[in-house]
Amino acid sequence: MNDLLTKIQDKLDLMPRRQRTLCEYICKNLFECSALTIVEMAEKARVGTTTVIRTIQALGYESYVQFKNDLHEVAVEQAKTSYAGYWDLTRRQLEQGRDGEGVSTLLTECEIVSKRLNQREFIGKIEEGAGMILRARRIFIIGLRSSYPLGLYLGSLLTRHGLSVCQLSDSADYMYDVLAGMTGEDVLIAVASAHLIVKRTVEVVRICHDRNIPTIILTDSSDTILYKEATLAINTECTDWNMTMTAVSIFIAIELLCQEVGARTVSITQGRLKQIEDFLRTYQLEIWDSGSIGTGGDQ
């Protein structure tokens, strides 16, 4: 059994101040730290690289790779229940007094989130994601638990553009069967809020990463074990908000992504509409208009 956290707890009080600072940072940011290099970890914790190396040695590890493997294992283990981030978020919401502030506050926050996403770097990620989607032979989508409705919505929008979409979110019993048939010509899109990451989502992303299958992550934070395993991370950076607003931020990202896909496939979409129109006219079929739901007979 991995006893990294026990090692830290046992040795923390005996460590020098900077090593304690590092260990406390690691314990508070397991997901992020599990994907960092020595230099990145030192910068994040505001200590020197020498402190990182000495701390690892003090915990009984011979190398950073060995330490990082244990850290990664602990992070995945905590992702099994997915509730740690949720409870922490609830606590912060109560501390900040966000509860019950009303519709006006929600609308104000929506406006702030929209402005936050209207940045050249973020729009560049959207454009890159649209390119990956259109180059793919098939698009596989996974969104579980709180991300489930967002995954379904994304799939619905992409299907309307005539793309081949497979919902892994609804394939719990056959998910790994489907994964076995994926190739590098496909693309996986994982919708995952950092507040409630599901272990199965982590497993699917890791498998695709190992098999060199392009992967897009739609998330609200870089502080997840998924982030560094993605080909492209579209990050709204809204994890410090309440769960409603993080969902809204990912929803906006989905809308922007699908609008970009639509803008690039408009000629194809027009051709499909013409094909459907000809089909309906050939078989004398009618679709209800805005004024009625049918014209009599079979509907």
d(CA 112, CA 134): 30
Q: Which helix (H) or strand (E) holds 10?
A: helix 4-11
Q: Contact at 8 Å (CB) between 187 and 129?
A: no
Q: Does position 81 have pLDDT exceeding 50, yes or no?
A: no
How much of the chain exceeds pLDDT 70, in percent? Answer: 79
Judged by DSSP in three states, 77 sits in helix
Average pLDDT of span 18-32:
85
Residue whose structure tokens are 């995954």: 151
Strand partners, 219: 192, 235
Tokens of 241: 């908000």
Q: What is the pLDDT of residue 115?
A: 78
Q: Contact at 8 Å (CB) between 196 and 86?
A: yes
Average pLDDT of span 204-217:
94
d(CA 243, CA 233): 19
Q: Does position 132 have pLDDT exceeding 70, yes or no?
A: yes
d(CA 232, CA 225): 14
At position 216, the amino acid (one-letter code) is I
For the ranges 17-21, 196-200, 295-299, the one whose mean pLDDT is highest: 17-21
Q: What is the pLDDT of residue 91?
A: 46
Q: What is the pLDDT of residue 242?
A: 64
Which of the residue ranges 7-16, 154-163, 204-213, 254-263 would you say has the lowest mean pLDDT?
7-16
| pLDDT band, very low/low/confident/very high, at 224 (cuts 50, 70, 90) | low
Q: What is the pLDDT of residue 186?
A: 97
Average pLDDT, the chain: 81
Q: Does position 295 have pLDDT exceeding 50, yes or no?
A: no
pTM tops 0.95, yes or no: no
What are the residues whose beta carbons fall under 8 Å from the beta carbon of 200, sequence distance 6 or more? 142, 144, 172, 175
- Residue 219 sits at φ, ψ, to 5 deg, of -145, 180
Q: What is the pLDDT of residue 87?
A: 45
Domains of the chain and CATH, by start: 4-79 (1.10.10.10), 118-266 (3.40.50.10490)
| pLDDT band, very low/low/confident/very high, at 2 (cuts 50, 70, 90) | low
